[in-house]
């Protein structure tokens, strides 16, 4: 019994330290969100695309969402990918890439989601089409107009950098109602 206590104490200390460190960069992420993302995040090109997609996807049930997500995963890596191409090409995706370029490497990826958490536009291909089962959606759009979620700084294999995701609800400025969500992956060095 004494051995268990000796083993558990370091494990509990490690868990407590990890939990305490989880919000270590929240103030810096909030500042980055307010100063570097929000000024362009409510651009009409983004919001109108989300509202337009909501008109199409609003009545989708979970079966339809799962089928689209499976289709996306099947298309990944193929040259003829209608669903993926609709998300990563066009004016909104170009606008997102322009924001990434303007930030000089501080932003590595941007995903815009509709009211179900389905991709509306993205700066690059994502691993899945439906983000609705992830915190980037469940802690933002599902929370309401003020929903914000800060992910931990983690190593991203695709970009080979340490990054954190800043996610927030997209709001219709005319009504104040949530219409979707956005996730912006920020290079970890920008938050130091």
Q: What is the pLDDT of residues 112-169, one digit of tens each?
A: 999 999 999 999 999 899 999 999 999 999 999 999 999 999 988 767 788 999 999 9
Q: Domains in the chain, start-ordered, CATH in brackets?
A: 25-191 (3.30.450.20)
* pLDDT above 90 (res 10): no
DSSP conformational letter for 188: G
- The runs of H, that is alpha helices, within 34-128 are 38-41, 44-57, 62-75, 82-88, 91-102
Q: What is the pLDDT of residues 34-67, one digit of tens each?
A: 999 999 999 999 999 999 999 999 999 999 999 9
Residue 101 in tokens:
């370029």
What does pLDDT average to over the chain? 87
Q: Which residues pair with 170 in a beta bridge?
A: 180
Q: Which has the closest alpha carbon to 178: 145, 131, 149? A: 145
First to last CA, the chain: 43
Q: What is the pLDDT of residues 170-188, one digit of tens each?
A: 999 999 999 999 999 999 8
d(CA 124, CA 127): 10
Q: Which residues pair with 110 in a beta bridge?
A: 184
Q: What is the pLDDT of residues 24-35, one digit of tens each?
A: 789 999 999 999
């Amino acid at each position: 019994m004494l051995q268990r206590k000796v083993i558990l104490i370091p494990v509990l200390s490690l868990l407590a330290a990890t939990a305490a460190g989880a919000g270590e960069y929240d103030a810096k992420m909030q500042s980055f969100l307010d100063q570097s993302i929000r000024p362009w995040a409510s651009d009409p090109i983004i919001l109108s695309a989300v509202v337009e997609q909501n008109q199409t996807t609003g009545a989708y049930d979970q079966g339809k969402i799962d089928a689209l997500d499976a289709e996306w995963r099947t298309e990944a890596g193929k040259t003829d990918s209608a669903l993926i191409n609709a998300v990563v090409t066009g004016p909104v995706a170009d606008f997102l890439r322009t924001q990434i370029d303007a930030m000089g490497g501080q932003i590595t990826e941007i995903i815009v989601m509709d009211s179900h958490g389905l991709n509306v536009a993205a700066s690059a291909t994502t691993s899945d089409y439906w983000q609705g089962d992830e915190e980037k959606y469940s802690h933002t759009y599902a929370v309401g107009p003020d929903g914000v979620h800060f992910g931990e700084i983690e190593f991203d294999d695709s970009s080979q950098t340490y990054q954190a995701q800043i996610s927030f609800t997209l709001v219709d400025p005319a009504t104040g109602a949530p219409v979707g969500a956005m996730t912006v992956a920020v290079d970890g060095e920008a938050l130091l």
